[in-house]
Amino acid sequence: MNSGMEPKIVFTGPPNAGKTTAIRTLSDVPPMVTDVDGNDPSLAKETTTVGLDYGVVHLGGGEQVRLYGTPGQKRFDFMWQILVRNAIGVVILIDNSQPDAMAHLDDFLIGLEAPLRGMACVIGVGRTETHRVPSLDAFATRLAFHGSMFPVVEVDVRRRGDVLMLVELLLAQVEARFILESS
């Protein structure tokens, strides 16, 4: 899977979608976070990421993947571009309890349009147990509107198995692409 460098996966999405929590949940080392006190009352959270989050997950056989989390605010979209460079895949996390969940997906599909053309991606939709709408099918339809076909799955970023599933879906896409390119 790697060619001298450890593979890198980027977690992105709007504020409060669970990027920092996902990395904390999955990382096998204490994660580095760049949270500061939040000053946006609409976010309903005490801190927010302004730089990046970083962790590492060990996959076995000596393989490990570096995990990076982006800030969610659009004003930091330049960080999205920097962090996705040389990534093998992107996880876009969406909080389904936010009234503009579908618009948030649009923001990240548009903001990362060029890098996503040649990169594995999965959409993790959280808080679906309390907020069933929009449905996963609605998110898949929106992806198709953007000309994208990525897996869309329910996720609870507090559960290691759920976050690991996102990583495994990305790695399966990377492996499938490698096999197709090699044949």
Q: Which CATH superfamily is domain 8-178 in?
A: P-loop containing nucleotide triphosphate hydrolases (3.40.50.300)
Mean pLDDT of 24-30: 95
Q: Residue 41: pLDDT band by 50, 70, 90 thresholds?
A: low
Could you tell me what percent of the chain has a pLDDT over 70? 89
Q: Which has more confidence, 169 or 76?
A: 169
As a three-state string, the secondary structure of the chain is CCCCCCCEEEEECCCCCCHHHHHHHHCCCCCECCEEECCCHHHCCCEEECCCEEEEEEEECCEEEEEEECCCCHHHHHHHHHHHCCCCEEEEEEECCCCCHHHHHHHHHHHCHHHHCCCEEEEEEECCCCCCCCCHHHHHHHHHHCCCCCCEEECCCCCHHHHHHHHHHHHHHHHHHHHHHHC
pTM for the whole structure: 0.89
- Is the pLDDT at 35 greater than 70? The verdict is no
Q: What is the pLDDT of residue 37?
A: 61
Q: How confident is the model at residue 43 (pLDDT cuts 50, 70, 90)?
A: low
Does residue 155 register a pLDDT over 50? yes
Residue 138 pLDDT > 70, yes or no?
A: yes
Ranking 33-47, 81-95, 125-139 by mean pLDDT, the lowest is: 33-47
| Whole-number pLDDT of residue 62 | 87
Query: Would you state the pLDDT for residue 2?
Result: 42
Domain residue ranges of the chain, discontinuous segments joined by +: 8-178
pLDDT tier for residue 173 given thresholds of 50, 70 and 90 = very high
39-64: average pLDDT: 75
- The pLDDT value recorded for residue 39 is 60
Q: Please give the mean pLDDT across all residues of the chain.
A: 90
Q: In this predicted model, what pLDDT tens digit does every residue of 93-122 receive, in sequence order? A: 999 999 999 999 999 999 999 999 989 999
pLDDT at 42: 57
